[in-house]
Structures are given as structure tokens and as C-alpha cells.
Amino acid sequence: MKQMTETTQKAHWGMVLGRAAIVVLLAGIPFAAGLCATNPGGDNAVPNIFQPQSTPADSIKQLSDFVLAITGMIFVVVFSLLIYAVIKFRQRAGTADREPAQVYGSTQIELAWTIIPILIVVVLFLATARVIHAVQDAPKPATAIEITAIGHQYWWEFRYPGLGIVTANELHIPVSDPALPTPTFLKLLSADTDHSFWIPQLAGKTDLIPNHPNSMWMDPHRTGIFLGQCAQYCGTQHAKMLLRVSVDSPKDFGAWVRAQQKPAIQDEKVIAGRRVFETTACINCHAVGGSAANGRFGPDLTHLMSRETIASGAAENTKENLRLWIQKPDAIKPGSLMPAMQLNDEDLDALVNYLETLQ
């Protein structure tokens, strides 16, 4: 910049740049803080897409880094040109009455800023197409676990056809060892409206659409709980259609599978509660393996107590929450399709006692 002739102008520009700096800082601090908030390798409370733990999510992250680098460079170049033009070619004192040279265009320059972007687009496209192919057209190995996920207003049904397991909301899958990969392949269906399956650290999202089967896969590299939730607006309680994926070691997964394959425990001590369950509307929607209850509208309750949450992750699976959920579901999840069961205290206690035996 040339010397400034007027101090007031200088002050004005200092103010403008100061304000710009404030804006950038205000935007930048939470950005950095947000991305650093999670502890890599620690717990997965924050489902950060930049901390992938599975091959598809990892391929996406690598592509993202590349795209961010290219777009970042474009930003720096164009932003610098803009700022330079704004500062350098501002109206200065004493020139107000002279019109600048009237330039109408330049074929060479315009050709340059047409061709360079075209080349950038070609490079970006090739990098992208490679990842699209790698993720979407990946072959399914014989050792893959197959699961059918069915979206319901506002909960998830998981069926393991090869293992004869039906569960809900909390998906258990084995960790995949690169030496002997056991990726999980999901078939995605919907029982009603559109939903979307999204565990940011394990894979990109894929929609569950009625009458339009989809598929996706993931091969988690380490054990732990991974969080996500429905990403496609599906109705009133879209917000509390949460997802938990428990990635288990092969040993834990085997134990979980054996436990889930057992029929429901039949404990004579809670026969009163079981009678309440089987003689009220509960069985219209819920199933308990090995009993008369075989409804499909709501989650399968055969091993209810093996889950950490109820109401698709909206509440912890505790005795108090079970009571509240049965008597007044709107207190936990207003607009959910679970009806208030209107039981008297005696029946409610018996019913909750019965449910608590469904290990």
C-alpha cells in the first residue's frame, strides 16, 4: 500500500480491518474449539465426522481433507484479490472528480479464469469418483455380518437374519480386524416414512425409504459405543430417534449373540405382571419371544433389559423411566406413538417388575 495521505482515512481503515478481524476471530475460535472438543481415541460422546473409526468414514475423511485443501486455496486466492482490490482501488481524497480508465474486459484474463477452474473441477471430480466407487461398490466378503435395519416412527428395528435375533435401537456389531475382516452390511428398509441412518464416525448416512430398499456397510476398527441419530425428518419425534452402535470385541459379540438368541426368561414370581402385559394392548405392538406377544409395531421386548436406553435413546433404561414411559410417554417423548396405558398402580408395578426380568 502507498503512504496514506490522510490520517482519518488510515483510522477508518484500521477500524474496518479491526472489525473484519473480530468477525474472523469470532467465527474461528468456536470452529477450532469445536473440532478439538473431542478427545481422539477417548470416548465418542461427540460424533465428529473428522474422527472416523471405520473404512467408509475414513475414505470420506481423506476425500474431505483433499477437497478442503483445494477449496481453502481457492478461498485464500480469491479473498486476497477481493481485499486487495477493495483497499487498493478505494476512492481517495482528490480523485473524486476523475473517472478511472474505462476497461471493458480482457479475453486473455477471462480465458485464464475459465480454464483454470475447469482443470480444478476435473481433478476434484476424479478424486471424488474414486471414493464413490470404493465405498458404494465394495464387495461383500463371506465373513460379513448381515443386518436388516427398519426405520419406524421414531425407533429402529434391527434384525439379524443369519443369527435369528431381533432387537431395537441399540445395534451390536463386531469390531472388524483388518486381517480377518468382519464388516457389517446393512439392508435399510422403512415401515412408514423416510428416515436416515447416520453414525458419523462409522459411515456416511443412507436413507431408509419405504418401498425402496437401500444398503450400506461399515467395518469399525475399534470397540466402543458410537452415537448417531435419524437424519431425515420423519415426523413429530424425529429429534428423539437416537441411535447407539455398540462395537464389541469378537468375544463380547459372541456372548451378546448367545444371550439374544435365548427365548425370554419366564419367571413365576412376576406372573401377575406378565398377565397384565398379555391381557392389555401391550401385545398389539410388542413381541416377547416364547410368549403370546408377537406385535410388530413397537420394539421387540424379549431382551429389553439388555438395552441401556428406552424410547429409542430418549431415556435411560431405569425402573422409574419404565414406569413413566408406560404411564405417560409424552413426558419423555411427546408425540411418540406409544400410548399412555392408563394402568392402576398395582398393575403398573407388576408390569414393570415383569419387564425387569426380560434380561
Partner 1 sequence: MSSDAMAIRNVEVESLPLVETLHGWLTTVDHKRLGILYIAYALLFLVIAGIEALIIRIQLMHSHNDFVSPQVFNRMFTMHGTTMIFFVAMPILFGFANYLVPLMIGARDMAFPRLNAFSFWLSAFGGFLLYFSFLGGSGLYGAGNAPDVGWWSYAPLTARAFSPGHSSDYWTLSLLVSGFGSIGTAINILATILCLRCPGMKLNRMPLLVWLNLVMAGMVLIAITPLSAAQIMLLIDRYLGGHFFDAQAGGSAVLWMHFFWIFGHPEVYVLIIPCFAFMSEIIPVFSRKPIFGYPVMVAATVCIGFVSLSVWAHHMFTVGMNSYANSFFTITTMAVGVPTGIKIFNWIGTMWGGRIQFKTPMLFSIGFLFQFLIAGLTGIMMAAAPFDWQLSLSYFVVAHFHYVIVGGILFALFAAFYYWYPKMTGRMLSERLGKWHFWLFLIGFHLTFTVMHIPGLLGMPRRIYTYEPGRGWDTLNLIITIGAFIQAVAILVFVANLVISYFKGDKAGNDPWDAWTLEWSTSSPPPAYNFATVPVVASRRPLWDQKHPEDPDSRYD
**Rounded-to-integer distance, Cα 255 and Cα 248, Å:** 10
Q: 1 vs 33, which CB is nearer to partner 1? A: 33
Peptide bond into 104 cis (omega under 30): no
- CB-nearer residue toward partner 1: 117 or 162: 117
Write out the three cell numbers for 197. 441412518
Shortest CB 354 distance to partner 1, Å: 29
User: Which one, 133 or 328, has the nearer CB to partner 1?
Assistant: 133
Please say which residue, 71 or 294, places its beta carbon nearer to partner 1. 71
Question: 117 vs 161, which CB is nearer to partner 1?
Answer: 117
Shortest distance, CB of residue 169 to partner 1, whole angstroms?
14
Nearer to partner 1, 131 or 272 (CB): 131
- d(CA 202, CA 60) in angstroms, rounded, equals 10
Q: Taking the complex as a whole, how short is the minimal distance between the CB of residue 179 and partner 1, in angstroms?
A: 26
Q: What is the DSSP letter of 96?
A: T
For residue 232, the minimal CB distance to partner 1 (Å) is 6
Output the smallest distance, CB 258 to partner 1, in A: 31
Q: How far is CA 175 from CA 134, 210, 225, in A?
A: 20, 30, 11
215: closest CA among 56, 333, 351? 56
Q: Is the CB of 233 or the CB of 290 nearer to partner 1?
A: 233
What letter represents residue 296's amino acid?
A: R
How distant, in Å, are the alpha carbons of 155, 314, 318, 330, 355 from that of 321?
17, 10, 5, 12, 12
Which residues lie below 8 Å from residue 204, measured CB to CB, with a gap of 6+?
56, 57, 60, 135, 198, 216
Q: How far is 49 from 32, CA to CA, in rounded Å?
A: 14
Smallest distance, partner 1 to C-beta of residue 276, A: 27
Q: Minimum distance from CB of 137 to partner 1 (Å)?
A: 6
Angle separating helix axes 271-279 and 345-355, nearest 10 degrees: 100
Cβ partners under 8 Å of residue 271, min gap 6: none
Choose among 326, 320, 324, 332: nearest CA to 301.
Answer: 326
Cis peptide before 160 (omega within 30 of 0): no
Smallest gap from Cβ 29 to partner 1, in A, equals 10
Which residue, 229 or 321, is less far from partner 1 as judged by CB?
229
